[in-house]
Structure 1
Amino acid sequence: MKEVQNIIKASEIAQATYIDIAADTNIIFLASQFTHLPLCISSIIPDQIYKCVDIGIEIVEIGNFDAYYNKGMIFNVKDIKNLSRTIRRRLPNIHLCVTLPYIISIKEQIELAKYLEFIGVNSIQIEGNINHRYDRLNQRLPLNRYNSTLINTYSLSRIVNIPIIAASGLNLSSAYIAQSYGASCIGIKTAIIQETTLNKKIDMIKKIKSTLKDTTTRSYIL
């Protein structure tokens, strides 16, 4: 929990765009004590999402799939379409972001991204290869998280007009590359969890923000 506090404090001090956290009321209350930044919760469970919105959350991400991959669960295009449609209908005014599961092919990701834009999803998030257990399902050459994120960001930014969030495996050296490939927002959890102190985390966020200076791209913290 101390690490979570330091990430939240660093995000507040360095002024990240928003903080992406688990859909857990205890973590929401903890975060609220240390920051005035917008909070985004990540979940695939509708009732959990609604509960968080009821206590003031204004940004919702359908995602956090890695927790379920580790349990042997997988998600297909139909699953994400149905869930996204359900949440959008129930919460028409919330800022809704949807993560595209990396285990589906790039062709399916393009199909899904187009659908999400059509139903009014506000942004989509790119998920790099985060669980090699399922690499065989998507017919891609083996890629690390960083390369997978960049390739998918580039491909999808040419297809849809809604903002794309690049958020897997990115660091100080790759944040600007992701921006040049079409990302509108950069998730930087990978970069800051490697820093061992609060001050180092603050410095890292500031450095990444500096590389994106004078662009429309923003940084946020997972």
Structure 2
Amino acid sequence: MHSSICLPVSSPSNTALKQSLSPFLGNFLPSKPYAPLKRRACLTTTKALLSTTKEAVLKDFHERRALKIISGLQNFDRDNVASVVTAADKGGATHVDIACDPELVKLAISLTSLPVCVSSVDPAAFSAAVEAGALMVEIGNYDSFYDSGVVFSPEQILKLTKETRNLLPSVTLSVTVPHTLSLPDQVKLAELLEREGADIIQTEGGKCSTPSKSGVLGLIEKATPTLAAAYSISRAVRIPVMCASGLSAVTAPMAITAGAAGVGVGSAVNKLNDVIAMVAEVRSIAESLSTASDRQTASKERSLKL
């Protein structure tokens, strides 16, 4: 737990705690500094805050409509990150995922009130990003490592998860299960991650998929590995599963049908040339998810009537 969260609200460096920026922090902040309060009272308040914040961050997952837009674990281009965050905000996303850098976090929260997630494979790097205002951390988005021949084993991922949970016991934690494992091994790792305190399991697979067709058929082929992982893992764990990597407006609804509680979209947005095109793509995906959610709700209502 970081005592820095108890700094005076008026501190210029405490951007993440401005009441006007993040609805996830609520109205718990007093107008006067915490300095006169005892540390124990401060920690109790902080613990309650983080618990409430986690519930808010996970709300869209529990409602099976989360849409996280990913700028890239190794993307430190401020202009591109700003465009991706703006597109997520204007296009109807529920979360945004950026590289684990405090300055990028400050940039992001100046542009959106959406929960900011930071991705890294270095647990020690998360603390500064959380202090800067990140409300969620992600061990994963490994795609950028595969080109260099770097592959993460289940043992490594479990170790990273334990370290992160020890450092940040109350922060929302998402962990990606690598597609390099067989489906049964992905399921086994997901179950172990749930026991270690992960709040969300993220799937992947777009990097290894090489579609043989163009158009809609190609988009479905591209998403097949991550859809298969979401289907299998969502039936083995109780925590939400986020289907990510290789998804589009065509396949995002399929992820929800397969059992995912949300979808993560990266290159379909962050590789576009301008923010207008990015907003249009995010909006298209968000609308496709909304349509899928409406259909599922209608189907459940019909079943209840019968």
- TM-score normalised to structure 1 length: 0.84
* Structure richer in helix, relative to its length: 2
SS in 1 for 2:93: coil
Q: Give a deviation string over 1:121-156, Cα, whole Å, max 9, x none.
A: 100100114258xxxxxxxxxx96411111111111
1:149-168 matches, cutoff 5 A: 149-168=226-245
Tell me the CA shift for residue 25 of structure 1.
2.3
Structure 1: distance between partners of 2:280 and 2:152? 37
1:7-156 matches, cutoff 5 A: 7-130=84-207, 145-156=222-233
Tell me the CA shift for residue 91 of structure 1.
1.2
Structure 2: distance between partners of 1:59 and 1:84? 13
Tell me the CA shift for residue 197 of structure 1.
3.4
Q: Give a deviation string over 1:148-196, Cα, whole Å, max 9, x none.
A: 1111111111111211111111001111111111111111223323544
**CA root-mean-square deviation:** 2.1
Q: For the Cα contact (< 8 Å) 1:97–1:122, is it kept in 2?
A: yes
- Over 4 Å off, 4+ runs: none
Q: For the Cα contact (< 8 Å) 2:176–2:204, is it kept in 1?
A: yes
- TM-score normalised to structure 2 length: 0.62
SS in 1 for 2:152: coil
In structure 2, the partner of 1:199 is 276
Q: For the Cα contact (< 8 Å) 1:129–1:144, is it kept in 2?
A: no
Q: For the Cα contact (< 8 Å) 2:106–2:132, is it kept in 1?
A: no
Q: For the Cα contact (< 8 Å) 1:128–1:144, is it kept in 2?
A: no
1:153-192 matches, cutoff 5 A: 153-192=230-269
Structure 1: distance between partners of 2:147 and 2:140? 14
Amino acid at match of 2:263: I
Q: For the Cα contact (< 8 Å) 1:127–1:166, is it kept in 2?
A: yes
Q: For the Cα contact (< 8 Å) 2:100–2:126, is it kept in 1?
A: yes
Amino acid at match of 1:162: I
Instruction: Name the stretch that deviates more: 27-36 or 76-85.
Output: 27-36
Tell me the CA shift for residue 96 of structure 1.
0.2
Alignment CA distance shift 1:197-1:68 (3 Å): closer
Amino acid at match of 1:51: A
Structure 1: distance between partners of 2:144 and 2:101? 14
Structure 2: distance between partners of 1:168 and 1:62? 15
SS in 1 for 2:207: coil
Q: Give a deviation string over 1:26-81, Cα, whole Å, max 9, x none.
A: 32222222112111000011211122122221100001323333333221111111
Q: For the Cα contact (< 8 Å) 1:99–1:124, is it kept in 2?
A: yes
Q: Which runs of 5+ in 2 are unaligned?
A: 1-76, 210-219, 295-306
